[in-house]
Amino acid sequence: MASLHLIVHYHEIILKGKNRYIFVNKLIENLKDVLNPAGVKGIREEQGRIIGDIPHGIDLNTIKERTSRVFGIANFAMASATDTHVEAIKNGALKQLEREAFDTFRVSTKRVYKKYPLSSMEVDRLVGAYIKEKMGKSVDLTHPQKTLFVEILKDRAYLYTERFHGAGGLPVSTGGTLVSLLSGGIDSPVAAYRMMKRGCKIIFVHFHSYPYLSRTSQEKVQDIVEILSQYQGASKLYLVPFGDIQKEIVLSVPHKYRIVLYRRMMMRIAGRIATNEKALALVTGESLGQVSSQTLENITTIEQAAPLPVMRPLIGMDKQEIIDQAKSIGTYEISIIPDQDCCQLFIPKHPAVRTHTGEIEKIESSLPIEELIEMGIKGSQILTIKAY
Ligand code: ATP
Ligand code: MG
């Protein structure tokens, strides 16, 4: 029986440039992380693609699902391998196609090993003629029901009929580390996902008001991080107790400024965690004008408390676009479970829509900022969450 292999084609961008090896090695590492536990062995580079060996009896659906969530992949397939001699390819092609239903077909050969004695077209023709003769099927070059792909490498040829879309993007961890402020709502998981897709490794920080509010938000973010870990491997999650910090703010600050001050404290604490973790920036799910804390003025006032740059990948997106993406990532169903977000604690009916840094700094001057940051950091619980 022919051996079965996973064959991964990476994104064009990785094929070029000096950093190619960094990208390919990281992609191999990321694939090993999710596919070794599923039984795939020997994941390696072979002439511009990544190959893994799939032992007999392994669940191919699991392999397909896991591979489709690894960033940096253009497409992938499950291929059988044969010797490179054209007779071996013909036999392999027949064995493969005999298991499939179709009337018309074509052969599409890619000769990766340029010293191969036949051209790609010659292989197409020889294999095509053989299938036609043995199976009585007809060749259709423009709209075939089935395409047999043949990739000829130096020592082996790989044959497959189905190609799956990869997730695109860049391999996670090639773009540095970010700290994501994760609320349990719809937006922030999508924001984290988009930065992962650009090659960033994400560390998550969630602020909760337990025991003033229920534990639901903490349970939700753990489930969300588990889903997001499918895309980046094991993830670190900081659960920061925020209720006592909010109490301090409430005691010395006019009602309408509470939300903005809560957010500024979140920026400072997440920024401190980021510095400790050697992360280079923060990421939030803010989208311009979506709620009163996300006016241009308030976003600016909030940002000015952040010790590091703040990335906002959703800033120009509509709610519906964000919802659609949350659904396709798989976080939406968890995000919509009702919970008690920490920002609902002690909030006024009419929060300030336009704040300015000068006035906010004056109001904040009565707060023991450094002590509050320390309080949040010291009280944090740190979890490691895995998807598989
Ligand atoms: P989301 O859907 O992500 O909750 P939102 O539309 O509810 O966002 P806001 O409540 O204004 O918007 O929050 C803006 C951003 O602040 C969030 O996307 C998130 O990055 C961060 N944030 C808000 N609450 C928390 C929290 N409890 N813990 C961590 N980050 C938070
Ligand atoms: Mg929210």
What number is the average pLDDT over the span 133-138? 97
Secondary-structure breakdown of the chain: helix, strand, coil percentages, each rounded to the nearest 5: 45, 20, 35
Asked whether the beta carbons of 71 and 168 are under 8 A apart, the reply is yes
Q: How many angstroms separate the CA atoms of 163 and 167, rounded?
A: 13
Provide DSSP, 147-160: EEEEEE-SS-EEEE
What percentage of the chain carries pLDDT values higher than 70? 98
Q: Is the CB of 355 under 6 A from ligand 1?
A: no
pLDDT at 216 over 70: yes
Q: How far is the CA of 184 from the centre of ligand 2 (A)?
A: 7
Q: Is the CB of 385 under 6 A from ligand 1?
A: no
What average pLDDT is seen over the chain? 94
Atom of ligand 1 nearest to the CA of 342: 27
Asked whether the beta carbons of 51 and 43 are under 8 A apart, the reply is yes
pLDDT at 347 over 80: no
pLDDT digits (tens, 9 = 90+) for 222-234: 999 999 999 999 9
Q: What is the pLDDT of residue 354?
A: 87
Q: How far is the CA of 338 from the centre of ligand 2 (A)?
A: 11
Q: Residue 262: nearest ligand to its CA? A: 1
Q: Is the CB of 351 under 6 A from ligand 1?
A: no
Q: Is the CB of 182 under 6 A from ligand 1?
A: yes
Confidence of residue 108 (pLDDT cuts 50, 70, 90): very high
Q: Is the CB of 185 under 6 A from ligand 1?
A: yes
Confidence of residue 1 (pLDDT cuts 50, 70, 90): low
Q: Residue 283: nearest ligand to its CA? A: 1
